[in-house]
Amino acid sequence: MEIYRGKRLSIEKKVFTLPNGRTKEKIVVHPGGAVAILPIAGDDCYLIRQYRFAVDDYIYEAPAGTIDEGEEPHETAYRELIEETGMKGETFVPKGWIYPSPGYTDERIWLYRAEGLSPCSDYGMDDDEVIEVVRVPIADVGSMIADGRIVDAKTICLICRCLW
């Protein structure tokens, strides 16, 4: 039974039969798909420092965004990189996909490494985004994860897939 439908999100209450035969009523969030991109330039990568209202704080994360209806993930990656960083990528290397939180949502995030970066004049964030683009030495991202400066799960997964 659908209990909410918005522009990009629906929420469903559903009865599941588990592999052990038990049945449980659960809530499942269906946000649609998304992408995350790690832009690489030589020995550096670009992250964004973005205000996230749900945690009321700024966090470091990879540029990312939701897939529009009819759009392929690689098209979204190209568009979102421009929108959030003002850079376009020449090459997008797919790095698979992840379930960021499979305990309550079926969201998939497709991961990309972007290379061959150049400035783009089509730069324009959404009106609810507060973003600062930050150039980070690749050698520093491991310590930023270890010491808690990077806490965003999709970004940590993307860094692992792209760099290690």
Query: The domain 36-92+110-163 belongs to what CATH superfamily?
Result: Nucleoside Triphosphate Pyrophosphohydrolase (3.90.79.10)
CA gap 110, 35 in Å, rounded: 5
Report whether pLDDT(128) > 90: no
Euclidean distance between CA atoms 109 and 152, whole angstroms:
13
Task: Report whether pLDDT(126) > 80.
Answer: no
Express each pLDDT in 16-37 by its tens digit. Answer: 999 999 999 999 999 999 999 9
pTM: 0.93
Distance CA 130, CA 53 (A): 10
User: Are the beta carbons of 33 and 24 closer than 8 angstroms?
Assistant: no
Domain ranges for the chain: 36-92+110-163
pLDDT at 125: 66
Interval 51-79: pLDDT, tens:
999 999 999 999 999 999 999 999 999 99
Round to whole Å and give the CA distance between 106 and 117: 32
Measure CA 101 to chain center.
Answer: 12
